[in-house]
Amino acid sequence: MAIPPPSTGALVVFGLIAVTVVLFVTERLPADITAIALLVTMVILQPWTQISPQEAISGFSNAATITIVAMYILSSGIEQTGIVTHLGRQVGEYTAGSRTKLLAATIGITGPIAGIINNTPVVAVFIPMVTDLADQSRISPSKLLIPLSYAAMLGGTLTLIGTATNIVASDLSADLINHPFSMFEFTPLGILILLVGAIYLMTIGQYLLPERILAADLTDEFELADYLVKVTVSQSSPLVGETIEEALSERVYDVDVLQITRGDRLFLAEETDQEIEVRDILTVRGDENAISAFAAGESLRVLRKAPVTELELAPPAGPGTLVETIIPAESSLIGQSLATARLRERYAATVLAIRRGEEIFHDHLSGPTLQEGDGFLLHATDSALELLAERGELLITEVAHTSALTEPEPLDRRAVALALSIIVGVIAVAALNLLPIVIAALGGVVAMVVTGVIRPAEAYDSVNWEVIFLLAGIIPLGLAMQETGGATFLGSIIVEYGAVFPAVVVLGLFYLLTGLLADVITPVASVVLTMPIAVDAALGIGAEPFAFVLAVTFAASTAFMTPVGYQTNLMVYSPGGYRFIDYIRVGAPLQLLLTVVTTLGIVALWGV
């Protein structure tokens, strides 16, 4: 059978898809800006794309988009009660230094929780706990953080509200085949996938995981031995009588003074106005040439046999500490440099090193453009630590020699009871079809605000607006695929050349294709692009369309093979010191395994 040629409109849409995918992969623009640019372009090219202005902005009023906004707020309400953190504290008591127990507890707790709470905040809460427990047990955090991310992703397949992708897929399924997902419709398959994934991570996976970070000492972890030194101030030094701020502002050296030691007294450079005195010992960060120039120019003597350790910079009773952080997706620091971010002025915190995956930057730190997932090692005051946690521009993953991450705060039992009751109510109302999920979720938001579980300002701050704008911009692309006949054209190609294969093989190929797309663009974009084609292909070969909808949905939630495919993968990239290849080594076998398991599971439960 000859395949009719695609329409001009379909070719235009295919071109827009190609450009969009390139921009997503290269990250020349933020993903949300790319999506909005796509939206605008589709309207400009309306004669070909068939997308009117009203259709272009329909993504903002789409039920899936509104539901996801509500779920971010509900998840934040649960998180702020401290119940997730409290559960994490119990892990330390259970594991008692055993790597197997710690890995099992990480997977066993994260997966089920991610089925009812957005998995991004779950991973954000657990990263510092897992890292801290790994240090206490002398286990490399690299052995635990990828499993943490993968378990959260797998847990998202348990319920309709487990991930934003599920909600978008449900809305598309309703439009394409008039079959939205119910709350627990695919839970049996989600349980199977979570169990298979957990067994893989506990067995084969743990042997494929690297040990990129071996040391618990943060100065060793960030390879700072050659970049931290002590210098003593001589009587002839022009620094005598000046404050640290005056000394650094009047001279051009690529160094940072971190603290002053005067006898048994310690002054933190970020907060002290003490004048430098003869015989003071200054702790300095910089490369060898910069420190040598600083010492020669200011009559300072370098103390080569006095190494600077974590304990030197973060003594248990000292005024400052070392803090490892990462830049989350919603941070305003993304796209800035350290020079424009001015962390020292804003937070009284000095950046000692920047880690991007396995690469660590020590020199000229003010130059690189900051990216999501970058890790910082900060020398900071205790007040800076509180400010960092409050503002959320940096996610704290580890704190040296402090009780800040190890002392649990008392649970507000009233808030916990209210938040859990509201979540259970939302799930029950949606599961019993008493109200649509979007209305139930919005009602839950109102209940959380009215009862004081979350304040209105916190509710707005909890939403990942990048994801929302990405959704709103990408949803009309699926509509354009349908209206121009692009989805039908691609589906007919698959029908023509896939007719030699059984339907179950075609189903598995769609799973694999969607998963590979999700690895390089975003899960939501992969669903929007692939689902209309999958449905048309299923109808063309006489298969069950809902089976293909489920394959696409589940595949998009298992983007294991890159750090950029899923946000939680990027969150653990720096704290684990991972390389890009680590995700392929551990994720590719799991993705192939789940291609088989999920495909056969769909066939067994729903037919094909």
pLDDT attached to residue 511: 94
Convert the pLDDT of each residue in 322-340 to its tens digit. Answer: 888 888 877 888 888 888 8
Tokens found for residue 318? 């000292």
At 163, the pLDDT band (50, 70, 90 cuts) reads confident
Q: Mention every residue, 6+ apart, whose C-beta is less than 8 A from residue 518.
A: 526, 555, 556, 557, 558, 559, 565, 566
pLDDT attached to residue 31: 78
* pLDDT at 404 exceeding the cut of 50: no
Neighbouring C-alpha atoms within 13 Å toward the C-beta of 240:
13
Where on the phi/psi map is residue 112: left (φ > 0), alpha (ψ -120 to 50), or beta? alpha
pLDDT attached to residue 140: 87
* pLDDT at 52 exceeding the cut of 80: yes
The class (CATH top level) of 226-306 is alpha beta
Q: Do 226-306 and 323-356+371-398 fold alike per CATH?
A: yes
3-state DSSP assignment of residue 227? coil
- Closest among 128, 130, 167, 164 to 147, alpha carbons compared: 130
At 403, the pLDDT band (50, 70, 90 cuts) reads very low
Q: What does the buried/exposed string (b/e) look like for 61-75 if buried means 16 or more CB atoms within 10 Å of the residue's CB?
A: ebbbbbbbbbbbbbb
Lowest mean pLDDT among 95-104, 153-162, 598-607: 95-104
CB 402 within 8 A of CB 321: yes
Higher pLDDT, 384 or 142: 142
- Give the pLDDT mean for 501-512: 91
3-state DSSP assignment of residue 284? strand
CA distance 475 to 59: 6
* CA distances in angstroms from 521 to 26, 51, 193, 373, listed in the order given: 10, 23, 23, 16
3-state DSSP assignment of residue 398? strand
Q: CA 562, 564, 569 angle in degrees (round to 5)?
A: 75
Convert the pLDDT of each residue in 198-242 to its tens digit. Answer: 999 999 999 999 888 765 678 888 888 888 999 999 999 999 999
* CA distances in angstroms from 158 to 187, 192, 568, listed in the order given: 5, 9, 17
CB 227 within 8 A of CB 287: yes
Backbone angles phi, psi at 224, to 5 degrees: -100, 5
* pLDDT at 592 exceeding the cut of 90: yes
At 149, the pLDDT band (50, 70, 90 cuts) reads very high
- Closest among 563, 552, 568 to 512, alpha carbons compared: 552
CB 128 within 8 A of CB 406: no
CA distance 356 to 575: 9
List, in sequence order, every residue forming a beta bridge with 266; answer none if it has no partner.
261
Residue 593 burial by Cβ neighbours in a 10 Å radius (0-12, 13-18, 19+): middle
CA distance 463 to 451: 19
At 402, the pLDDT band (50, 70, 90 cuts) reads very low
Higher pLDDT, 82 or 572: 572
* CA distances in angstroms from 265 to 304, 307, 516, listed in the order given: 21, 18, 57
Q: Mention every residue, 6+ apart, whose C-beta is less than 8 A from residue 306.
A: 229, 230
CB 582 within 8 A of CB 212: yes
Give me the amino acid identity at 16. Answer: L
Our measurement of the distance from residue 149's CA atom to the centroid of its chain's CA atoms, rounded to an integer in Å, reads 9
* pLDDT at 587 exceeding the cut of 70: yes
Q: Hey, CA dihedral for 54, 56, 60, 61, is it positive or negative?
A: positive
- Give the pLDDT mean for 290-311: 87
Convert the pLDDT of each residue in 338-369 to its tens digit. Answer: 888 888 778 888 889 998 877 888 888 877 88
CA distance 229 to 365: 18
CA distance 420 to 14: 45
Give me the amino acid identity at 89. Answer: R
- Closest among 597, 606, 526, 607 to 559, alpha carbons compared: 526
pLDDT attached to residue 264: 83
* pLDDT at 193 exceeding the cut of 70: yes
The class (CATH top level) of 323-356+371-398 is alpha beta
Alpha helices in 45-136 (DSSP H): 46-49, 53-56, 58-61, 63-80, 83-95, 99-114, 119-136
* pLDDT at 531 exceeding the cut of 60: yes
Convert the pLDDT of each residue in 95-128 to its tens digit. Answer: 666 778 888 988 998 999 888 887 777 887 788 8
pLDDT attached to residue 335: 84
CA distance 608 to 604: 9
Ranges of each domain in the chain = 1-56+83-209+464-608, 226-306, 323-356+371-398
> How many helices (H) does the chain have, and how many strands (E)?
30, 10
- Closest among 368, 394, 352 to 223, alpha carbons compared: 352
DSSP 317-386: TSSEEEEEEE--TT-TTTT--HHHH-HHHHHSEEEEEEEETTEEE-SSTTSSPP-TT-EEEEEEEHHHHH
Backbone angles phi, psi at 232, to 5 degrees: -110, 145
Convert the pLDDT of each residue in 429-460 to its tens digit. Answer: 988 889 988 899 999 999 999 999 999 988 98
Max Cα-Cα span within the chain: 93
Neighbouring C-alpha atoms within 13 Å toward the C-beta of 521:
27
Residue 564 burial by Cβ neighbours in a 10 Å radius (0-12, 13-18, 19+): buried
Q: Percentage of residues in the chain with pLDDT exceeding 70? A: 96
DSSP 551-564: HHHHHHT---S-SS
Tokens found for residue 36? 């909005």
Backbone angles phi, psi at 284, to 5 degrees: -125, 140
